[in-house]
Amino acid sequence: MKLTIDVADRIDKALARFYPEAGRRQLAALFDDGAVRVNGKRAKKGDRVAIGDTVELAREPVSGIALRPAPDPDVPLTILVEHSDLVVIAKPAGIPSQPLRAGELGTVANAIAFRFPECVAIGDDPRDGGLVHRLDIGTSGVLVVARTLETYHALRDAFSAGRVSKHYLAITDGHPTARECDAPLAQRGKRVVVDAAEGLAAYTEIAVEQRSPDHALVRCIAQTGRMHQVRAHLAHAGAPITGDTLYGGAPLPGHDGFFLHAVSIALPLRTDKLVVEAPVPQRFTSALAVCALA
Residues assigned a catalytic role: 136
Q: What proportions of the chain, in percent to the nearest 5, are helix, strand and coil?
A: 20, 30, 50
Nearest of 112, 85, 95, 89 to residue 268 by alpha carbon:
85
The answer to whether 182 touches 205, Cβ cutoff 8 Å, is no
CA distance readout (Å), 198 to 183, 193, 194: 11, 10, 9
Longest dimension (CA), the chain: 63
Residue 77: count of CB within 10 angstroms of its CB:
18
Adjacent-strand bridge partners of 4: 54
Q: Which is nearest to 87 in space by CA: 279, 282, 274? A: 274
> What's the start-to-end Cα distance of the chain, in Å?
57
**Length of the chain in terms of residues written:** 294
For the chain, where are the E strands, in sequence order? 2-4, 9-10, 36-38, 41-42, 48-49, 54-57, 78-82, 86-91, 140-146, 165-173, 180-181, 185-188, 191-194, 204-211, 215-222, 260-269, 272-277
DSSP conformation class of 40: T
Instruction: Tell me the C-alpha distance between 204 and 231, whole Å.
Output: 10
